[in-house]
Every structure is written in structure tokens, then in C-alpha cells.
Structure 1
Amino acid sequence: MNKVLSAPQSSKDEMIKRKILQSARTLFIEQGIENVNMHQIAKMAEVGQASLYRRYTEKGDICMEIVLEECQPLFDDVKAYLDQSTDIPVLDRLYQVIIKFVTFMEANVPWLCSLSRATPGYRPLQSPLYQFMRTTFRELLTEAVERGDVTAVDVFYTVEVLLAALHNIDFHIRDHGFSTEKILLGLHRIFIEGLKK
């Protein structure tokens, strides 16, 4: 009985959530994230303030949810690739994941960075995007160590250095004028060729 009653409520909640996120996304793009407030989001979504605040206590919470949605295609792509490529050498798989990340960031950097900076307690390398990449890189490097494919390496430190390099991609592209190809070649030289036995 409860399951029958909860299904429509769950569907209604999901619909309200979608309206809020879509309205926020539209407002953020049109006006800039810093120029949008919770009242505007509620008004555009046509939901009451109480309904909005029951789901999100502040604008940064909405930003965090949008960041997760924006990153989900990358997460799915990486997972699917790794599931289908177990027969490929580990360091080659690692490099393909790096390529996927760089390509994703190049296409999404200004928007994603603005959203991330508006999230509560903004710490870029602790965001869901970097947590996912951290876990993925650690698993791949650990496998490479166990297989004897790499020289003695501190997996945790190496992953943090790789994440720091990846985090500055927008700076390297915009301010230094490095091409994506140049960045990927450099990352390959340091983190793939540099680690091979």
C-alpha cells in the first residue's frame, strides 16, 4: 500500500526537482551565477520558496547538483570504457582516461568552474569530479604496480600530482596558449612514459 502511494509522490518530487534545476541552469547561463538568487530560481521554476528550501538550503547546493549532472556523462563514459578494455595494458587505459578528462574539461571549463566555485566550501580537488578521477587513477596505478608495469611509485602522491596538473588545464589553454595536443603529449611523457619500467 505504501509503495503505491509513494510512487506518485516520488514522481512529483522528481518533477519539482527537475524544474528547479532547469530554471537555475537557465538563469545562471543568462545572468551569471553570482547574479542569481534563490527567490529568482523559485519564481522561474514556479515553486514556492518553502518547497525550494526543503530541497536546497542555499544556491550552492543547487550548483553542486548541476555539477554532478554535468559530470555524469564523463563518469559513465569512463566506467564503460574501463569495463570494456580490461585486456588493454593498464598505462594505456590510464592515458585514455586522461584524454577523456581533458576533452571533457576543454568543452566544459568556464561553465563548470563557475558552478563549482559557487558550491558550499569550494575545494576544487575535493569536488565530486576530482573525487571520481582520484579513485579511478588510484585503481589503475595500483593495478599497474601490482602487474609490475611501472617503476617503484607512490600511487597516492602521483595521483595528486596528476590531478593538480589536470586542474590547471584551463589556465594552460587560456593563459599559456598551449594546445590540447601539447598538453596531452606532456601528460603522456610524464605520467605514462615516465612511469614505465
Structure 2
Amino acid sequence: MAKTLGFIINSTDEVFRRRILESARTLFIEQGVENVNMHQIAKMAEVGQASLYRRYTEKGDICMEIVREECQPLFEDVKAYLDQSTEVPPLNRLYQVIEKFVAFLEAKVPWLCAVSRASSGFRPLQSPLYQSMRITCQDLLNEAVELEDVEDVDVLYTVEALLAALHNIDFHIQDQGFSTKQILQGLRRIFIEGLKKNPVPK
């Protein structure tokens, strides 16, 4: 009986969680992340504010969970690609990962970018989305260094510079009017072609 009761409690808890996340997602898309508060989320999800705060202490916690869920397909896509392309040069793989990342964000601009920023307060590049990208890019650049495919490069700083550029994709697309093609060409020139080791002249 205890197991059955536990299952019922867990199922109810999951229903509450889904209602909260779906309500927050809808409000964020409709009104913008900065214009939504915890009271609005609780009201739309039809849960008491006390229940909401027992699970999430602040809006940023809800944002963190939404980002993690929304980005799971990207994480799985990148992992599948890397698992299947071990023979491809690391810089080529890095560019493919960048392409996947940009395409994913473009489809969800601007709301997911705003949610990602809010998910970690004043440290937007620490959200689950950028943490995953950070690890992947560092691994690929370190592999390129080991294979001597790149000139002398500070891997950690280079990755942070790349993440900073990716972080502003919604601004570049919406406010500055850059096309995805322009963005990808620029990223390729700077972070792929610009790092390649020049062949030694014969």
C-alpha cells in the first residue's frame, strides 16, 4: 500500500510540475520573461503560491528547468552527431556543433534566449544550455590542439569568447538584422578558419 501511495503522490507531484512549467512557458512566450512573476505562474497553473514556492524558490529556478527540458533534444542531437563522426577533424565537428546550436536558438528566438539568461540571474553563460556547449567546445578544441590542427591557442578563453558571441544571437538576428548565414560565416571565419594552423610552406 505504501508503494501505491508513493506512486500516487509522485504522479500528483509530476502533474503539478508539468502544469507549472507549461504555464510559465506560455506566459514567457506571450508576455516576455521579465514581465512575468511567480504569482502569475501560480494562478495560471492553478496551484497555490505556497505549493509553487515549495518546489521553486524563485522564477530563475523555473527558467532553469524549462531551459534544461527545451534543450534536451539539442543535447541529444549533438551527442549523436559526435558519436557518429569520430573520424571527422575536430574543427569540422566544432563547426557542425555551432551550426546545430545556432539553428536551435534561431527557431526559439527570442523567448528561450531570455529564459536562458534569467535561469542563472546575472550569470547567463552558466545556464544549462551554455554549460553543455562550453564542455563540448572545450573538448573539441583540446582535441584539435593535441592533433596540432590549430595554432597556439588559449582554449578556455577562446571558448568563452565563442559563447559570448552565441549568447547574443537573438540580438543579432532581431535588433541588428543579421541573417543566420552572416552569423555562421562570421563564426566560421573567427573560430574555425582563424584557428587553423597555417601549412608550412615547402
Amino acid at match of 1:185: Q
How much does 1:40 deviate? 2.8
How much does 1:78 deviate? 0.9
Greater Cα shift, 162-171 or 13-22:
162-171
Per-residue displacement from partner, 1:96-147 (whole Å, max 9, x unpaired)?
A: 0010111112122310132234335232222221111111000000011112
Aligned to 1:23: 23
Contact preservation (8 Å) 2:116, 2:129: no
Aligned to 2:97: 97
Q: What is the rounded CA distance, in whole Å, between the counterparts of 1:171 and 1:43 in structure 2?
A: 31
With structure 2 as the length reference, what TM-score do the two structures score?
0.87
Q: Structure 1 vs Structure 2: percent identity of aligned residues?
A: 76
Contact preservation (8 Å) 2:56, 2:62: yes
Structure 1 residues 117 and 136 mapped into 2: Cα distance closer, same or farther (>3 Å)? closer
Greater Cα shift, 94-103 or 7-16:
7-16
Aligned to 2:200: none
How much does 1:5 deviate? 4.7
Contact preservation (8 Å) 1:75, 1:132: yes
Per-residue displacement from partner, 1:167-193 (whole Å, max 9, x unpaired)?
A: 222233234332211221121122112
Is 1:137 the counterpart of 2:137? The answer is yes
Aligned to 2:76: 76
Q: What is the rounded CA distance, in whole Å, between the counterparts of 2:190 and 2:75 in structure 1?
A: 24
Q: What is the rounded CA distance, in whole Å, between the counterparts of 1:95 and 1:120 in structure 2?
A: 26
Aligned to 1:189: 189
Q: What is the rounded CA distance, in whole Å, between the counterparts of 1:87 and 1:146 in structure 2?
A: 15
Aligned to 1:61: 61
Aligned to 1:152: 152
> Cα RMSD (Å) of the superposition?
2.0
Q: Equivalent residue of 1:13, what SS?
A: helix
Unaligned runs of 5+ in 2: 198-202
